[in-house]
Amino acid sequence: SAVSVAELINYWDVSSYPGFVSATAEVVGGQDLSAAAVPGKLLPLNIGPQPPEQHINWLNLFYSIEWVVFAGFAFFIWWRLVKDDYHRDLEEALEDAEEAPEGGLHETPPPPHGPEQQQPDQHQQKVQP
């Protein structure tokens, strides 16, 4: 059984807590102690039949489909970025190969030999033996 706080809050002028206790019978020592036995405006709580549970929660099903579509779209965007970057690198390599001299080697300075020619980069850590 269930109680609708949304319906009851319209009748009560006090703050509400969403927890309720409903006693079906209050008989102690042969005396009825329920709310109906007390004089005043208190009435017994009659809870009607509740709708049966659905076997499939359609909202959750559509949310799960939405997340699968979103994940597929994110994967597609990632794949396109990687593909475009790969093709850009291939085009740059092709342009570099076309601009290279006949020998196919770029003119690069020879690597430094010996400790007097090596100067540490400003971001490198200096290590002393």
pLDDT digits (tens, 9 = 90+) for 113-127: 655 555 656 666 666
Name the token pair of 28: 């102690």
Residue 27 forms beta bridges with which residues? 32
Question: For every one of its 129 residues, what pLDDT tens digit does the chain have, with 9 covering 90 and above?
Answer: 577 777 777 887 777 665 666 666 677 777 776 655 556 666 667 777 877 777 888 889 999 999 999 999 999 999 999 999 999 999 999 999 888 776 555 556 666 665 555 565 666 666 666
Q: How far apart are CA 31 and CA 37, in angstroms?
A: 9
Q: Decide: 1 and 9 in contact? Cβ < 8 Å.
A: no
Domain boundaries, the chain: 1-51, 53-99
pTM: 0.37
pLDDT of residue 126: 66
- To the nearest 10°, the Cα dihedral for 63, 66, 71, 76? 180
